[in-house]
């Protein structure tokens, strides 16, 4: 375990550093001097020691620190109004969000924040957890369908709403929406999303949140996170160790290939949502 308050040169040398410094970055962006000093020390050490493999490389992590940068990347790679804090992955406040229905509601927010169009998606969220060439689909509860009108702003914590055991009333579909048949998830689309983002970011440890439009069947990427929780992913440590060993042997792969689409891995889900098969292999 690295002590970020002590010189790294005194703690090394390191063959590989597995890090999750997004919280420190978020604190530094909020003018926390201690966090900023720790980040500067970390980045300087990496520059001085190019022989140390860093998982994941910091340039990709930088692109995910601010949500507006993340969404610009998504627009560039995919081309296809929820208000969120600008900083992602920085603690509880990064999950505080709201659905705004009218112009008056916009006046309630402290800037800066990021706005997305809200897509009705049948209260189903697909969380893609990426571990290098291996990825899993976890089905989670999500916000129910909302419709334009003059109702009051709906505030929520996205982490609480989408917990595996969430019982939030915001995840319960209204009677008129319960009979609608939801589009079936296509593992080939998930595979392309994972492959594309790994190539764009040069990262192995990613969490990608995806919803499917209930009306059009189009896919929406609503968030991308570095080194996510991997909650509910089976045999996590086994997959992580395999990835670390692989990267020690092959630190800079020439290309990232799509996982064959005719192989299988299970999709893991909560008891409230029927289990599906993602159609993609971990091997």
Walk me through the domains of the chain, giving residue ranges and CATH numbers. 15-57 (no CATH), 61-268 (3.30.470.20)
Ligand-binding site membership of 84 (annotated):
yes
Q: Provide the pLDDT for residue 93.
A: 61
Question: Quick check: 190 and 137 in contact, CB under 8 A?
Answer: yes
Q: Provide the pLDDT for residue 94.
A: 64
- State pTM to two decimals: 0.82
What confidence tier does 275 reach under pLDDT thresholds 50, 70, 90? very low
Question: Quick check: 66 and 125 in contact, CB under 8 A?
Answer: no
Residue given tokens 């966090």 in the structure block: 35
Ligand-binding site membership of 225 (annotated):
yes
Ligand-binding site membership of 47 (annotated):
no
Ligand-binding site membership of 121 (annotated):
yes
Ligand-binding site membership of 219 (annotated):
no
Ligand-binding site membership of 166 (annotated):
no
Residue given tokens 């609608």 in the structure block: 180
Q: Provide the pLDDT for residue 108.
A: 81
Torsion of CA 77, 78, 80, 81, to 10 degrees: -60
Q: Is 29 helix (H, G, I), strand (E, B) or coil?
A: helix
Ligand-binding site membership of 157 (annotated):
no
Residue given tokens 């308050």 in the structure block: 5
Ligand-binding site membership of 116 (annotated):
yes
Ligand-binding site membership of 30 (annotated):
no
Question: Quick check: 171 and 122 in contact, CB under 8 A?
Answer: no
Question: Quick check: 88 and 94 in contact, CB under 8 A?
Answer: yes
How far is residue 1 from each of residues 14, 27, 200, measured CA to CA in Å? 11, 20, 29
The answer on pLDDT for 40 being more than 80 is yes
Secondary-structure breakdown of the chain: helix, strand, coil percentages, each rounded to the nearest 5: 35, 20, 45
Q: Provide the pLDDT for residue 279.
A: 30
Cβ-Cβ contacts under 8 Å for 109 (sequence gap 6 or more) = 83, 98, 100
Give 72-130 pLDDT, tens digit per residue: 877 776 644 444 445 555 554 667 888 888 888 888 877 777 777 888 999 999 999 99
Ligand-binding site membership of 71 (annotated):
no
Ligand-binding site membership of 223 (annotated):
yes
Ligand-binding site membership of 119 (annotated):
yes
What is the distance between the alpha carbons of residues 245 and 259, in angstroms, rounded to a whole number?
A: 19
Ligand-binding site membership of 20 (annotated):
yes
Of 23 and 269, the structure prediction assigns the larger pLDDT to 23
Q: What is the DSSP string of 196-262?
A: HHHHHHT-SEEEEEEEE-TTT--EEEEEEEES---TT-TTHHHHHHHHHHHHHH-SS-S--PPPPTT
For residue 95, give the DSSP letter.
Answer: G
Ligand-binding site membership of 215 (annotated):
no
Residue given tokens 């609480």 in the structure block: 160
Question: Quick check: 158 and 97 in contact, CB under 8 A?
Answer: yes
What is the distance between the alpha carbons of residues 63 and 148, in angstroms, rounded to a whole number?
A: 32
Q: Is 124 helix (H, G, I), strand (E, B) or coil?
A: strand
Q: Do you find a cis peptide bond into 56, omega within 30 degrees of 0?
A: yes
Give 135-193 pLDDT, tens digit per residue: 999 999 999 999 888 789 999 888 889 888 888 999 999 999 998 888 999 999 999 99
Ligand-binding site membership of 95 (annotated):
yes
What is the arithmetic mean of pLDDT over 264-275?
40
Give 196-253 pLDDT, tens digit per residue: 999 999 999 999 999 999 988 989 888 899 999 999 999 999 999 999 999 988 876 5
Ligand-binding site membership of 122 (annotated):
yes
Tokens encoding 11: 């703690």
Tokens encoding 37: 């000093």
Ligand-binding site membership of 124 (annotated):
yes
Cβ-Cβ contacts under 8 Å for 61 (sequence gap 6 or more) = 21, 22, 25, 203, 226
Least Cα distance to 198 among 262, 245, 142, 134 occurs for 134
């Amino acid at each position: 375990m690295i002590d970020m308050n002590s010189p790294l040169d005194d703690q090394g040398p390191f063959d590989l550093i597995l890090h999750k410094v997004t919280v420190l970055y978020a604190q530094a962006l909020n003018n926390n001097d201690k966090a900023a000093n720790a980040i500067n020390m970390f980045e300087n050490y990496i520059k001085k020691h190019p022989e140390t493999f860093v998982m994941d490389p910091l340039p990709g992590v930088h692109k995910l620190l601010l949500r507006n940068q993340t969404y610009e990347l998504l627009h560039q790679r995919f081309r296809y109004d929820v208000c969120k804090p600008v900083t992602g992955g920085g603690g509880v406040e990064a999950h505080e969000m709201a659905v705004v229905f009218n112009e008056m509601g916009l006046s309630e927010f402290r800037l800066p924040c990021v706005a997305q169009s809200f897509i009705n998606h049948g209260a189903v969220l697909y969380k893609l957890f990426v571990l290098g060439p291996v990825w899993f689909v976890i089905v989670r509860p999500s916000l129910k369908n909302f419709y334009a009108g003059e109702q009051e702003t709906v505030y929520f914590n996205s982490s609480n709403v989408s917990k595996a055991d969430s019982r939030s009333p915001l995840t319960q579909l209204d009677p008129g929406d319960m009979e609608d048949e939801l589009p079936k998830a296509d593992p080939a689309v998930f595979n392309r999303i994972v492959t594309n983002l790994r190539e764009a970011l040069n990262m192995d440890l990613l969490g990608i949140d995806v919803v499917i439009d209930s009306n059009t069947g189009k896919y929406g990427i609503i968030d991308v996170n570095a080194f996510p929780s991997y909650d509910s992913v089976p045999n996590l440590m086994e997959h992580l160790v395999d990835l670390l060993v692989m990267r020690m042997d092959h630190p800079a792969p020439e290309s990232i290939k799509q996982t064959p689409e005719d192989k299988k891995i299970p999709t893991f889900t909560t008891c409230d949502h029927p289990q599906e098969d993602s159609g993609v292999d971990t091997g």
